[in-house]
Structure 1
Amino acid sequence: MPVRTACPIAPSAAERVRLKKMAYGHKTEHRLRLRAQVVLHAARGRSNARIARETGLHLDTVCRWRGRFAEAGLPGLNDRRRCGRPASFTPLQAAEVKALACRLPAETGVPISRWSCPELVREAGRQGIATFVSASTVRRWLTEGAIKPWQHRSWIFLTDPDFRAQAALVLDLYARTWNGEPLGADEYVISADEKTSIQARCRCHPSLPPGRARAMRVNHTYRRGGAVAYLAAYDVHHARVFGRTEERTGIVPFMNLVTQVMNQEPYSSTKRVYWIVDNGITRSGTRMRQG
């Protein structure tokens, strides 16, 4: 039988850096780590059989990921889109059901003291939010959330008539879609906000570390260092946090945060980065849009 010739692999310097981060990063998924290792071994000129022995993978698996990298580069190491049943409900519908659960039943004219999942299903159908949703689906939506505001009465009510359209864009980005199309591997979503008036306090004496039979000792007295603002940006899909402190808030401190993030890889050389911010006065002016 003829032996299939291995595809030559010659990654660029930037690709080699990304491959090493994937192959040896502690937070990289196991499947992506193995694929990156296959490509790195292939870039050293090793045969597929040797790579299979050293990685413990099947020979066909090694050939597959070597060939995909040769064809498409780094994006070729991602899983291809599989055909399957499309999602029955949108993220916006799930959010609207959760918002309904946050309201008292009396506000919608339902004569009960608290919501149950079947009652939420009936009310969601009556309001046209989701017609064919089941009680088990609603229960799963409510269980998935780390924060469950429907367990308490909320006093914040929506007044923006464009909230539905704006929320749909944000929820789609959180679900890795934009204008009905899935985001690519070189597109990122950043959520940013700020916390003002954080008291900067300095202990008058350093804390003593705990010992074998002694708890950690922290001095009670402190000096006030004024108040600072903390600005943070969160990479939604890669769980990366960027932060900085500023003496005050405003468009200039916020643009400092944007510059800090966008000057780092992979954001500085990626195709597109979506920033999700609120409509605060420091981020809704002309200078923000021009920046």
Structure 2
Amino acid sequence: MAYGHKTPYQARMRAHIVLHAARGRSNASIARQTGLHLDTVRKWRGRFAEDGMPALADRRRPGRPPSFTALQAAQVKALACQLPAETGAPLSRWSCPELAREAMARGITPPVPASTVRRWLGQDALKPWQHRSWIFVTDPAFRPKAQQVLDLYARTRDGVPLGENEYVISADEKTSIQARCRCHPTLAPTRPGPCA
């Protein structure tokens, strides 16, 4: 750890403290040599003496307890998936501030910031303020068609796994990369020769 090129700086310094301590150096001497504060040297040397190598890792920090439960977040996401007209709200599409207000009005959550609602929706890539008609599938044969494509992505065909030499290639048209007629005539190749 002390000499690894990819070791994070903090882990490297903690390893140096332990190595200097193993050589019998005092805390003050280690602090001078490493440029760390005496209290830092004392802390990591003591932790290593108590618990060994695992003690050099950062301890888990509890952090602030969550203000909202997972159920509340799920209820707000479910609300976002409904059209506002279905819920009686006089809107055509939800926005994060409107969802926060509606969740509070329904008693789903205490006052919740719009940024928190945006983060919850972002976890599942929900954007209720956008509407695309293709999201609402009307083709009755959609499931069997989609099943074939999804099976190929899972590397199976009719329930049989694909072999090692079998590949799935997805070719999709990209913007401005369509097959088009050439704008200029094709020229014959030039004959190789000495540069003039």
TM-score of Structure 1 vs Structure 2, range by shorter chain? 0.5 to 0.7
1:62 to 41, 54, 65: 41
Percent identity over the alignment? 58
- Mapped pair 1:196 → 2:154: yes
TM alignment of 1:2-151, pairs within 5 A:
20=1, 24=4, 26=6, 28=8, 30-79=9-58, 86-139=65-118, 141=119, 145=122, 148-150=125-127
The structure with more strand, counted as a fraction of residues: 1
**Residue ranges of structure 1 left out of the alignment (5+ in a row):** 1-19, 157-194, 199-223, 229-291
TM alignment of 1:125-274, pairs within 5 A:
125-139=104-118, 141=119, 145=122, 148-150=125-127, 152=130, 196-197=154-155, 225-227=165-167
Distance verdict in 2 for CA 1:55–1:86, change over 3 Å? same
Q: Assess if the C-alpha contact under 8 Å between 1:23 and 1:34 holds in 2.
A: no
Distance verdict in 2 for CA 1:56–1:96, change over 3 Å? farther
Q: What residue identity is the alignment partner of 2:100?
A: V
Whole-angstrom distance in 2 between the partners of 1:31 and 1:116:
43
Q: Assess if the C-alpha contact under 8 Å between 1:98 and 1:150 holds in 2.
A: no
Whole-angstrom distance in 2 between the partners of 1:36 and 1:101:
50
Describe the superposition over 1:88-139 as per-residue Cα deviations: whole angstroms up to 9, x where unpaired.
1234533543443344323433221121233212322344432232334334
Q: TM-score, normalised by structure 2?
A: 0.52
Instruction: Tell me the matched-pair count.
Output: 143
Q: Offset of 1:84 from its aligned partner?
A: 7.1
Q: What residue identity is the alignment partner of 1:225?
A: N
Whole-angstrom distance in 2 between the partners of 1:57 and 1:66:
12
Q: Assess if the C-alpha contact under 8 Å between 1:101 and 1:115 holds in 2.
A: yes
Q: Offset of 1:77 from its aligned partner?
A: 3.3
Whole-angstrom distance in 2 between the partners of 1:102 and 1:65:
51
Q: Assess if the C-alpha contact under 8 Å between 1:52 and 1:62 holds in 2.
A: yes
Whole-angstrom distance in 2 between the partners of 1:118 and 1:64:
47
Q: What residue identity is the alignment partner of 1:93?
A: Q
Whole-angstrom distance in 1 between the partners of 2:90 and 2:65:
36
Q: TM-score, normalised by structure 1?
A: 0.38
Distance verdict in 2 for CA 1:106–1:68, change over 3 Å? same
Q: What residue identity is the alignment partner of 1:41?
A: H
Distance verdict in 2 for CA 1:44–1:113, change over 3 Å? farther
Whole-angstrom distance in 1 between the partners of 2:111 and 2:123:
25
SS in 1 for 2:85: helix
**Residue ranges of structure 2 left out of the alignment (5+ in a row):** 138-152, 157-163, 169-196
Distance verdict in 2 for CA 1:66–1:125, change over 3 Å? same
Whole-angstrom distance in 1 between the partners of 2:86 and 2:20:
64
Describe the superposition over 1:171-226 as per-residue Cα deviations: whole angstroms up to 9, x where unpaired.
xxxxxxxxxxxxxxxxxxxxxxxx5128xxxxxxxxxxxxxxxxxxxxxxxxx931
Whole-angstrom distance in 2 between the partners of 1:136 and 1:118:
8
Q: Assess if the C-alpha contact under 8 Å between 1:52 and 1:58 holds in 2.
A: yes
Structure 1 runs (4+) greater than 4 angstroms displaced: 78-85, 151-156
